[in-house]
Amino acid sequence: MNYMEMLAETETDQRKGNYHMENEELLKEFSEATKKIKEQIHRDIIGQNEVVDNVIIAIIAGGNVLLEGVPGTGKTRLVRSMGQTLSLSFSRIQFTPDLMPNDVTGTNIIRKDSDGNLTSSFQKGPIFSQIVLADEINRATPKTQAAMLEVMQEHKVTVSGVSYPMAEPFFVLATQNPIEQDGTYPLPEAQMDRFMFKLNMVYPTEQELADIVNLTQADQSEKAEKVVDGTTILHMRKLATGVPIIDDVLNYAMLLVHRTHPEADKNSEVAKKYIKFGASPRAAQALITGAKIRALMSGNYNVSYDDIDALAIPVLRHRIKITYSAINDNLTVDDVIRQLIEEAHKGK
């Protein structure tokens, strides 16, 4: 029995309500599939191991990802490599200040037919792909950024009252430069919340820098090959939904998200001092969904506290706003989240 057949059999058992993870081969195949994806991506990307793992988690989960980093850290190359690794349609949208919403979603075109009558037809924009690279998304105006809200959440585009669904699986992988740089616009909170993860591309080490130079001297093109198709991704997603999570771990994850709200959780000293506003329920959903996939990638069929802690920062860093007190104490958003994790462990 191949991987797809095992996944289909597993889904049948899940629907019957009698599924138990007794097939170790299925778990192994899931882990091996993600390892193959990583191997192909690392043919093009040096380092950034945690970022690559989290992008894979988000894609299996069906979540959008925001990659932030200074120019030259490999953001665009990572997304292009991911597009080549998965057998999915791929498009790139270069966001610029003069980009209009219709340039992204598409527009109705008026044409004359053979009889001379005017007819209207919808011309699809570049958003109609399964993997969409929104390159330098924060260089577009807020009006154009707003055009992305519906498609990122509901996987459809509405033009002139008519809705056009996306082909599944569908992902938006966006890149942005740090907001302090010239010519950028801050993304609105509603749009930020639609990203499952915000991942920071760190500057490479000295050895990684040398490896990058050697990798790109002979050939600038991506070398990754296709190893997984869309149907397999959708089956892997369904498998992940059946991963069990014990009440203690679930309650810990909910406590962590709840404690980002100083007005709701009076027991959190960290939130009261350092957080202005907290994360939405989407954060809790992303944390649990991502933790289940991370567990499977690690070869485990249960969610641990480590899975929750590992994903807390990428899930929460773009969903909370820190106070001036945190800034005055030289704390970043990530620092505050680490303190929340420590506090939540004490409150388990």
Is the pLDDT confidence value at 202 over 80? Answer: no
User: If you average pLDDT over residues 185-199, what whole number do you get?
Assistant: 86
Instruction: Name the most confidently modeled range: 22-26, 133-137, 250-254.
Output: 250-254
Phi, psi angles (nearest 5°) of residue 262: -60, -30
Looking up residue 80, the CATH number of its domain turns out to be 3.40.50.300
Q: Are residues 73 and 158 in the same domain?
A: yes
* HEC per residue, 196-245: EEEEECCCCCHHHHHHHHHHHHHCCCCCCCCCEEHHHHHHHHHHHHCCCC
Domain final residue, candidates 198, 219, 242 = 242
Is the pLDDT confidence value at 218 over 80? Answer: no
Output the pLDDT for position 250. 94
Q: What string of DSSP letters covers 146-169?
A: HTHHHHHHHSEEEETTEEEEPPSS
* pLDDT tens by residue, 253-295: 999 999 898 887 667 788 888 898 889 899 999 999 999 999 9
Output the pLDDT for position 219. 60
Output the pLDDT for position 14. 46
User: If you average pLDDT over residues 86-96, what whole number do you get?
Assistant: 86
* pLDDT tens by residue, 44-67: 777 778 888 899 999 999 899 998
Is the pLDDT confidence value at 348 over 80? Answer: no
Q: Are residues 118 and 262 in the same domain?
A: no
Q: Are residues 309 and 321 in the same domain?
A: yes
Q: Are residues 67 and 90 in the same domain?
A: yes
Is the pLDDT confidence value at 183 over 90? Answer: no
* pLDDT tens by residue, 106-150: 888 877 777 777 777 888 888 998 889 888 888 888 888 888 888
3-class state of residue 118 by DSSP: strand
Cβ proximity of 67 and 173 under 8 Å: yes
Output the pLDDT for position 15. 45
Q: Are residues 47 and 186 in the same domain?
A: yes
CA distance 40 to 225: 6
Name which of 3-7, 122-126, 233-237 the model is least confident about. 3-7
Q: Are residues 174 and 277 in the same domain?
A: no
Is the pLDDT confidence value at 17 over 50? Answer: no
Cβ proximity of 326 and 85 under 8 Å: no
Q: Are residues 21 and 143 in the same domain?
A: yes
Looking up residue 253, the CATH number of its domain turns out to be 1.10.8.80
**Sign of torsion over alpha carbons 80, 82, 87, 91:** negative
Q: What string of DSSP letters covers 268-320?
A: -HHHHHHEEE---HHHHHHHHHHHHHHHHHTT-SS--HHHHHHHHHHHHTTT-
Name which of 43-47, 181-185, 199-203 the model is least confident about. 181-185
Q: Are residues 282 and 169 in the same domain?
A: no
CA distance 138 to 176: 6
The number of domains in the chain is 2
* pLDDT tens by residue, 291-330: 999 999 888 888 999 999 999 999 999 999 988 998 999 9
Please state whether the peptide bond connecting residue 169 to the residue before it is cis, i.e. omega within 30 degrees of 0. yes
In terms of Cα–Cα distance, which of 320, 316, 318, 68 is closest to 181?
Answer: 68
Q: pTM above 0.75? A: yes
Q: Are residues 168 and 109 in the same domain?
A: yes
Could you list the residue range(s) of the whole structural domain that residue 263 is in? 244-348
Cβ proximity of 317 and 333 under 8 Å: yes
Task: Enter the tokens of residue 114.
Answer: 């053979």
Domain final residue, candidates 242, 264, 282 = 242
Cβ proximity of 276 and 336 under 8 Å: no
3-class state of residue 345 by DSSP: helix
Q: Are residues 274 and 191 in the same domain?
A: no
Domain final residue, candidates 222, 242, 262 = 242
Q: Are residues 215 and 118 in the same domain?
A: yes
User: If you average pLDDT over residues 214-219, what whole number do you get?
Assistant: 64
Q: Are residues 237 and 249 in the same domain?
A: no
Residue for token digits 């802690």? 309
